[in-house]
């Protein structure tokens, strides 16, 4: 199910948790140097690559606070995460698809 927002809204924040490939065990982010979210409109332009906040590293819990410009266009926003580990290696999540947020047009 996609994350739902109205055009130009910056709340609610996007909360998420990373898991190991088994889908049960949380991904420990203690040795991650950063986590970024990459935002792109489906079939459209790249929007941004922005830092996310790692809330609880041991259990892979993070959040992203939307910023001005992220939700300016109504439509389907595709996103993925890029984790950079302390050895410099990147890991993209998810590996097999994109996550989606639906931005519904506001009434002006």
Q: Average pLDDT of 55-61?
A: 97
Overall pTM > 0.75 = yes
Could you state, in order of their start, the residue ranges of all structural domains in the chain?
Answer: 3-104
Q: With cut-offs at 50, 70 and 90, classify the pLDDT of residue 35.
A: very high
User: Is residue 2's pLDDT more than 90?
Assistant: no
Range from 1-5, 25-29, 41-45 carrying the lowest mean pLDDT? 41-45
Give pLDDT, residue 46: 85
Rounded Cα distance between 65 and 37, Å, is 11
How many C-beta neighbours within 10 Å does residue 34 have? 14
Q: Which residue has the higher pLDDT, 86 or 45?
A: 86
Distance of CA 29 to the CA centre of its chain: 15
Topology of the domain covering 3-104: Immunoglobulin-like (2.60.40)
């Amino acid at each position: 199910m996609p994350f739902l927002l109205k055009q130009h809204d910056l709340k609610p924040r996007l909360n998420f948790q990373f898991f190991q490939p088994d889908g049960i065990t949380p991904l420990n982010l203690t040795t991650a140097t950063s986590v970024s979210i990459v935002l792109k409109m489906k079939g459209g332009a790249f929007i941004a690559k922005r830092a996310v906040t790692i809330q609880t590293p041991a259990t892979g819990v993070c959040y992203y606070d939307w910023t001005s410009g992220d939700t300016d266009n109504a439509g389907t926003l595709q996103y993925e995460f890029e984790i950079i580990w302390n050895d410099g290696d990147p890991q993209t999540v998810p590996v097999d698809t994109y996550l989606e947020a639906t931005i519904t047009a506001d009434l002006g």
